[in-house]
Amino acid sequence: MTFPLFDLTGKRALVTGSSQGIGLTLARGLAEHGASVVINGRDADKLAAAARGLSDSGHDVHVSAFDVTDHDEVKSAVDSLERDIGPIDILVNNAGMQFRAPLDVFPSDKWDQLLRTNISSVFYVSQAVATHMIARGRGKIINIASVQSELARPGIAPYTATKGAVKNLTRGMSADWAKHGLQANAIAPGYFDTPLNQALVDSEEFTAWLEKRTPAGRWGNIDELIGAAVFLAAPASSFVNGHTLYVDGGITTSL
């Protein structure tokens, strides 16, 4: 049985930062709904292993190793993908990083790295892909924001700043590109058990706090992000634009 509103057959998705964690999970989820996927990262061994896993499951997968923080490299890679593999119909900007330190002693080089990785990359890759999407009059862009697009927590102020910027850049993409047939939206995950959060997952104190703070009472499982991604990538969301969808167990709804 197929459901046309959520069918991605014949579509091609580029997912940045997808050799592991949320990115790989979203790539798998899109593939399971019919999309051909292009996974991206900088670690060739991790990418190869991820590609094998997807391919062994019967999915159509390609690998594109490029640095999302390098504007010229991004443009060259995207243009090559469009020429050699085919049109990118869906872009998921997932690449990101975290660094924790009190704001008053936060290293300036880590501030710069966070900006490049978490927000500049979203602009670089989206601009490169959107140029082709605009010419075709259609396209889906999904940016990975965070509950930190709305909330702050001690020790991660610069990360919070970048994720707030992702939310507003998503709105700006909609304002500029909706008239060309593009839908640009964001998914804002709450606290999920991923490599990026390993230090927090390993902390009994933090986990206890999180379970008490989150109405759902638990960490999220990364598979629970797939539905949101498929919805925003599929025809079902054809009139959804500039929206940030929180998948957070209710943590942004309560004190």
List, for residues 44-76, the tens digit of each pLDDT value. Answer: 999 999 999 999 999 999 999 999 999 999 999
pLDDT for the residue 109: 98
**Averaged pLDDT score across all residues of the chain:** 96
Alpha carbon of residue 124 to chain centroid: 14
Flag whether pLDDT at 25 surpasses 80. yes
What would the pLDDT profile of 73-97 be if each residue is shown by its tens digit? 999 999 999 999 999 999 999 999 9
Say which of 124, 159, 191, 246 is annotated catalytic. 159
Hey, how many other C-beta atoms are within 10 angstroms of the C-beta on 152?
Answer: 12
Burial 61-91 (b: 16+ CB within 10 A, else e): bbbbebbbbebeebbebbeebbeeeeebbbb
Q: Provide the CATH topology of domain 4-247.
A: Rossmann fold (3.40.50)
Hey, how many other C-beta atoms are within 10 angstroms of the C-beta on 39?
Answer: 28
pLDDT for the residue 252: 96
For the entire predicted model, the pTM comes to: 0.97
Task: Give CA–CA dist 66/44, Å, rounded.
Answer: 10
Average pLDDT over residues 142-152: 97
Domain boundaries, the chain: 4-247
Average pLDDT over residues 194-223: 93
Is 159 a catalytic site residue? yes
pLDDT for the residue 194: 85
Strands across the sheet with 61-65, in order?
61-65, 36-41, 12-15, 90-93, 139-144, 182-189, 244-247
> Taking Cα atoms as reference points, which of 160, 179, 161, 118 lies closest to residue 143?
118
Flag whether pLDDT at 123 surpasses 80. yes
Are the C-beta atoms of 179 and 151 separated by less than 8 Å?
Answer: no
Average pLDDT over residues 191-218: 92
pLDDT for the residue 199: 87
Average pLDDT over residues 152-174: 97
pLDDT for the residue 245: 98
pLDDT for the residue 1: 60
pLDDT for the residue 155: 96
